[in-house]
Structure 1
Amino acid sequence: MSLDPDRLRCPYPVYEQLRQEAPVYWSERLQSYVVSRYADIAAILTKPKLFSSIRQSGPSSVTALAQRLIEDTDTPELLKKQAARRLDISGKPTLINADPPIHVRQRKLVSQGFSPRRVASMEPEVRQIASDLFDKFETRGSMDFVADFALPLPMTVIANVLGVPPSRMADFKRWSDAFTRGVGALDLSIAQIQQIFGAVDEFYDYFTAQIEERRTQPRDDLLTDIVAARLDGEQPLLLNEMLHMLSVFLVGGNETTTNLLTAITLRLLTDNELVTRIRNDTSLIPKLVEEVVRLESPVQGLFRTATEDTDVGGTPIPEGSMIWIVFASGNRDPEAITTPEDIELDGPNGLNHLAFGKGEHVCMGASVARLEARIGIEMMLERFPNLRLASDEVPPVHNSFILHGLQRLDVVNTPR
C-alpha cells in the first residue's frame, strides 16, 4: 500500500476501484490478498477457524518487526534480546490475535471489565476529564484538538481504568506510541526501532510489577479484574497473556478513539449544515458517531491468515496466505450501504458497519469509544458555539495505511 500523504488522507477512490475491478487483489508489497467488498469481509470475519487472527497486524506490526530483527544477523544483541521478549509475549495468542477456543476463554475472563454496568459507571469520570481539558482551551481560545483533547481524553480514561497514576501519563503516552508506531508504517529506521523496543520493554517492566502488586493489594480497576479473573473449569490468565492483553487495551483504548473524535470534529467544522443540525438536536450525536466511524474507520483494516486452501469471492486463496480485510472499503460498499459516501442521520445507513469488527472479534471496547465520542462531541458543541478551524491548511495525517487519522487539527473559538 502507498504511504503517500494524499493517498493516506483519502484512500477511498482506490478502495472503490478495487471493489469494482479486483475485489480480491494480490499485493506484492504486502505479500497479502486485499479484500475490499463488504460481503466478502463479513464472511471472513464470521469464519475464525478458516481465517485465523494470529497475524492481525500483518507484516507491519511490532511483532512482525521483532521477527525480522531476530532473523537479521546484523541486529545488535540488545535489540535482538528486546525483540525476543516481544515475540515471547505476543507469541501467546491474546484476544485480538487469538482464535477459538483460546479467544473465547480470554474474552469470558475479562468481559466483566467491559460490562454495560462498568461502562455506564465511567460517564461521570469521562465528563470530568473532558471538562478539565476544555477549561484549558477556554482560557487560551485556541488549541491543537488532537494533542489537547482527542488524545488525552481516551488516554486518561484508559490510564485511570488500569490504575496508572497521573505522574506516569507521559510514560503511558510514549508506550502507546511505541506499540502503534510500527503498525502500517513499513519504513522505520534502526534508530526508530530501538526507540520503539526500549519503550515496549519499559511498558512490560512497569505492568509486570503492577500485576504482582494487584495480587496482594487489589484495587477497583480493570487491572485487578484481569489479575483476579476466574471461571469454573478455566485456567487463570498467565503473566504473558496479561501483558499482551494490556498492550491491546493501551492501543485500542486511546489511539482509535483519538482518531474518531478528530474525524467527527473535522466533519462538523467543515459542514455548516451538519453542525447546525447536530447543535439543534444533540440526540443525533450517537448516530453521527456511527456514521463517522463508518466513513473514516480509525482502523482501516486488519489481517487474517488462511488455515487451509479456500477461496474468497471466487478467488483461490492458498493455505498460509495473508489476507488484508479492508473495513474502510466495506463500509463504503454501495452493495451494503444505502448512501455509502454520505452521513445519513435518518435511516439505517451504517448500523451494520465493520469499523468495530464483526463476529468473534467485535471490539470489546466499542462501548467505551462510543461513550467517549458522544460525551466529547456533546460537550464541545455546548461549550464552544463559535468553534472553527484555525486555518485552511490541510491537516497532516499519520504515516500508516492501517491506523487512519490526523496528526493535528488546529482550532479556535471566538468568544460569545
Structure 2
Amino acid sequence: MTTAPETTAGGCPVHPQEQFAKLTMRDRDLVRCPFPVYAEMRREAPVMWNDRLGAYIISRYEDIREVLRDPKTYSSLQASGPTSVTPLARQVEADESYSEETRAAAHRRLELAEYPVLINSDPPEHKRQRALVAAAFTPRRIKEMEPHFQAIADDLIDKMADEGVTDIVEDFALPLPMTVIAGLLGVPADMMHTFKEWTGAFTKGVGAMDLTHEDITELFKSTNAFYTYFGAEIERRRKEPQDDLIGTLLDARLDGETPLGDEELLQMLVLFLVAGNETTTNLISSMVYYLLKDPELLASLREDEDLITPFVEECLRLESPTQGLYRTATTDTSIGGVDIPEGTMVFLMYASANRDEEIFSDPDELDLENPSTQHLAFGRGEHVCLGANIARREAFIAVKTLINRLTDLELAVPDPEVEYQPSFILRGLATLPMRYRKVDSPR
C-alpha cells in the first residue's frame, strides 16, 4: 500500500488518505473542489486503501483502464459499493429500531438485489441483458426522440418569467431529463412530483454514509412505492401494450435467450431513473455553471453552435457526473504494483482519471479546439453506458435552448455560495441561482 508524504497544493497541505476520507464524509469544501486531492493521489498514492469504504481507491487513468478491460478479474456485481441502497437495506432489515413496514421495504430491496442488471451484472448475464435492452437505445430511436427533448426544453423556458432570477437546477436542469425519462416510462404528468420523490430516494442512498433514522425511513418508503407502482405497470403493459420503454423491454427477444424477468425489469427501471435522470441533471447544471462563470465562453457558443458538442464532452471529462464506481477482485491480483486480495473491492475514480496529466494536455482546462474522446465519464469496454448518447443529446439541446432564448445570464449569488450535492460519487450542483432575461426573437 502506497503512503503519500506531506505535500502542498495551492499552498495548503494535502494528505491524500486524510483528505479523501474527509471527502467521503462529504466535507463541503472538498465536495466542491476535490481535484487537487485527486492530483496528489495520482502522484503519490495511485492505489490507496481507504478504511471508511473498505476499498482500494484507483486514481490513474491507465490503471482504471486495465481494470475495465478485465471484467473476469474485476466483477461488477457490487458496482455501487458499500455506500448504496442495497447495503443500507441489509443494515435496516437487521435493525429492530425501524418499523416493520420499513424493514419489510428493505427486505424487498434485498430480494430484488438478487437480480443484478447491467452495471451490476457480469457475463454472461450482462451480455444477454445488454443485447435485450439495446433496441431501446438505437441511434434511430434517439434521433426520433430529439423533437420531444426540444419541446420539453422550450416548455420549461416558456414557464419562466420574462426576466428575473431562477434556480436553473430546480427549474430546468432537473425537470428536463426527469420529464424525458418519465415520458419514456409512461408516467402521467400529474405524478411528476411523486416521480421526483422516488428519484431523490434512490440517489440519496448513493455515496451517503450518514443518513438519519428519519432519512432512511423515508428513503425505503419511497423505494417501496416505486417498486409497487412499476410492478403493477409491468403487469398492466402485458395486458394493454404501450409504445414506451417498458413495452419495448417486455417485447425484447433474442434467439436462444431468456426474456427479461419482472425482477430484472424493476431493477433496470431503477437504473434508468438514476443513470438517465440524476446524472444528466448534473451534467446540464455543470455546463450552465461554466457558462455563467465565463462570458467569453458563452459568447463563443452563441456565435458558433457547433462548439456545443465539444463543450458537452469537455464538461463530461472535467465534471464527471459519476465520479467513480466499484469493482470486486475475483482472484488475487495486483494494480499499479499493489497486491489486491481476492474479494477486495476497488473504487475506480473516473473523475481523477479524466484529469490525468499523463493522458490529457492541460487536464484541468476546458479545451473546445481539441476535446478529448478518451474520457471515462460513461465508462469503457463492455460496461460503457447504454444511455450515453441520449445524455449527450439532452445536454446539447438544453444548452442550445438556454443560450438562444435567454440573455444577460449571470450568477445571482457570489460564486463561493454555490452549493454542490453532498456526495463523493455523484457530482452535481444542489442549486444554481441565475439572473436572466428572455430574448424577444429566439433563433
Residues in 2 aligned to 1:124 and 1:138: alpha-carbon distance in whole angstroms:
24
The CA deviation string for residues 99-144 of structure 1, in whole angstroms up to 9 with x for no partner, is 1110100010110101101111011000000001011224353210
Query: Do residues 215 (structure 1) and 215 (structure 2) align?
Result: no
**Aligned-partner SS, 1:155:** helix
**Aligned-partner SS, 1:99:** coil
Return the letter of the residue paired with 1:39. Answer: E
Residues in 2 aligned to 1:28 and 1:134: alpha-carbon distance in whole angstroms:
46
Equivalent residue number for residue 182 of structure 2: 159
The correspondence for 1:303, drawn from 315, 326, 331, is 326
Note the C-alpha offset of 1:79.
2.1
Residues in 2 aligned to 1:60 and 1:140: alpha-carbon distance in whole angstroms:
41
Equivalent residue number for residue 80 of structure 1: 103
Query: Do residues 362 (structure 1) and 384 (structure 2) align?
Result: yes
Residues in 1 aligned to 2:93 and 2:357: alpha-carbon distance in whole angstroms:
44
Confirm or deny: 8 A CA contact 2:317 2:376 kept in the other structure.
Answer: yes
Note the C-alpha offset of 1:367.
0.6
The CA deviation string for residues 232-269 of structure 1, in whole angstroms up to 9 with x for no partner, is 10001111110000000011111001000010001011
Return the letter of the residue paired with 1:334. Answer: E
Return the letter of the residue paired with 2:372. Answer: G
Query: Do residues 263 (structure 1) and 283 (structure 2) align?
Result: no
- Aligned pairs for 1:210-359 (under 5 A) are 210-347=233-370, 349-359=371-381
Equivalent residue number for residue 206 of structure 1: 229
132-141 vs 167-176, which moves further: 132-141
Return the letter of the residue paired with 2:404. Answer: E
Note the C-alpha offset of 1:415.
5.6
Equivalent residue number for residue 26 of structure 1: 49
Confirm or deny: 8 A CA contact 2:329 2:343 kept in the other structure.
Answer: yes
Equivalent residue number for residue 141 of structure 2: 118
The CA deviation string for residues 372-415 of structure 1, in whole angstroms up to 9 with x for no partner, is 00000001111113211112142111111101111000111146
Note the C-alpha offset of 1:78.
2.5
**Aligned-partner SS, 1:323:** strand
Equivalent residue number for residue 170 of structure 1: 193
Note the C-alpha offset of 1:312.
0.6
**Aligned-partner SS, 1:254:** helix
- Aligned pairs for 1:54-73 (under 5 A) are 54-72=77-95
Equivalent residue number for residue 388 of structure 1: 410
The CA deviation string for residues 59-79 of structure 1, in whole angstroms up to 9 with x for no partner, is 110011012223445444322
Equivalent residue number for residue 374 of structure 1: 396
Residues in 2 aligned to 1:138 and 1:37: alpha-carbon distance in whole angstroms:
46
Note the C-alpha offset of 1:211.
0.4
Q: How many residues align?
A: 415
Confirm or deny: 8 A CA contact 2:98 2:217 kept in the other structure.
Answer: no
Residues in 2 aligned to 1:307 and 1:62: alpha-carbon distance in whole angstroms:
23
Superposed CA RMSD in Å reads 1.2
Note the C-alpha offset of 1:285.
0.3
**Aligned-partner SS, 2:160:** helix
**Aligned-partner SS, 1:356:** coil
The CA deviation string for residues 210-242 of structure 1, in whole angstroms up to 9 with x for no partner, is 101111211111110111111110001111110
Equivalent residue number for residue 183 of structure 1: 206
Residues in 1 aligned to 2:301 and 2:157: alpha-carbon distance in whole angstroms:
19
Q: Which has the higher contact order (CA 8 A, sep 6+)?
A: 1
Confirm or deny: 8 A CA contact 2:327 2:347 kept in the other structure.
Answer: yes
Equivalent residue number for residue 194 of structure 1: 217
146-155 vs 38-47, which moves further: 38-47
**Aligned-partner SS, 2:428:** coil
Return the letter of the residue paired with 2:281. Answer: T
Note the C-alpha offset of 1:272.
2.0
The CA deviation string for residues 275-303 of structure 1, in whole angstroms up to 9 with x for no partner, is 12111111010110000010000110011
The correspondence for 1:36, drawn from 56, 59, 71, is 59
The correspondence for 2:423, drawn from 400, 406, 409, is 400
Note the C-alpha offset of 1:158.
0.5
Residues in 2 aligned to 1:91 and 1:285: alpha-carbon distance in whole angstroms:
41
The correspondence for 1:52, drawn from 71, 75, 85, is 75
Residues in 1 aligned to 2:400 and 2:150: alpha-carbon distance in whole angstroms:
10
Return the letter of the residue paired with 2:400. Answer: E
Note the C-alpha offset of 1:273.
2.0
Residues in 2 aligned to 1:166 and 1:272: alpha-carbon distance in whole angstroms:
36
Residues in 1 aligned to 2:253 and 2:225: alpha-carbon distance in whole angstroms:
28
**Aligned-partner SS, 2:57:** strand
Structure 2 unpaired stretches of 5+: 1-20
Q: Percent identity over the alignment?
A: 50
Residues in 2 aligned to 1:199 and 1:407: alpha-carbon distance in whole angstroms:
20
Residues in 1 aligned to 2:438 and 2:93: alpha-carbon distance in whole angstroms:
56
Structure 1 unpaired stretches of 5+: none
Q: 1:282 to 1:138 in 2, by over 3 A?
A: farther
